[in-house]
Amino acid sequence: MALRNILKEGDPTLEKASRNVEKFDERLHILLDDMRETLADAEGVGLAAPQVGVLRRVALVLDLAQETEEQDAPVVELINPVILETEGEITAYEGCLSIPGVLGKVSRPMRVRVQARDRTGVFFEMEGEGMTARALCHEIDHLDGQLYTRLCDQLYDKDNLPEESE
């Protein structure tokens, strides 16, 4: 495994749409292993292949609902993910490893159901709620060349967020 460089906002690769994966081969597995290591190193909740310069529909998302005191949240590998269903809406701070140091307030579905394929090509479905739903939508947006900043009108310094007024 190897750490890959995370592209930053302004890199044109981040604005391009990714293509579906068709071969579930060793090359894909190396990409997934490298992305896992890169995500863990960056302590993020998700990472999409275009962020490491690969325009393929591959994303990782932490399944935070599975996190326990004994076990870290497992990383889910999503190949060619598609949102099947969404429910509700919640507005919260959101950030991106490609846009370090800032957060924006973004409205996302409260729950999503996603279909994807695993690294061997087998179809599966995943449901996410709250932060996991947000991460799923955010990473799938990356596969369409979209950054969250298009969904908010203001960015905040991550270490100096305004006080919330009720």
So which residues are the catalytic ones?
139
CA 108 to each of CA 19, 93, 99, 136, 155: distance values in angstroms, whole numbers, following the listed order: 24, 10, 19, 10, 17
Smallest separation, CB 67 to Ni ion (Å): 20
Smallest separation, CB 121 to Ni ion (Å): 25
- Looking at 17-25, 57-65, 72-80, 88-96, which segment touches Ni ion (CB under 5 A)? 88-96
Smallest separation, CB 154 to Ni ion (Å): 18
Cβ proximity to Ni ion, 25 vs 91, nearer residue: 91
- Looking at 90-98, 102-110, 114-122, 151-159, which segment touches Ni ion (CB under 5 A)? 90-98
Cβ proximity to Ni ion, 46 vs 116, nearer residue: 46
Report whether 45 contacts 62 (CB < 8 A).
yes
Instruction: Out of 58, 60, 61, 96, point to the residue binding Ni ion (CB under 5 A).
Output: 96
Measured from each CB, the residue nearest to Ni ion is 96
Residue that is written with structure tokens 């460089």 in the block? 5
- DSSP labels for 56-89? BSEEEEE-GGG--SSSPPPEEEEEEEEEEEEE--
List the structure tokens of 14. Answer: 């981040």
Judging by beta carbons within 10 Å of its beta carbon (0-12, 13-18, 19+), is residue 83 exposed, middle or buried? middle
35 binding Ni ion? (CB under 5 A): no
Interface with Ni ion (CB under 5 A): 96
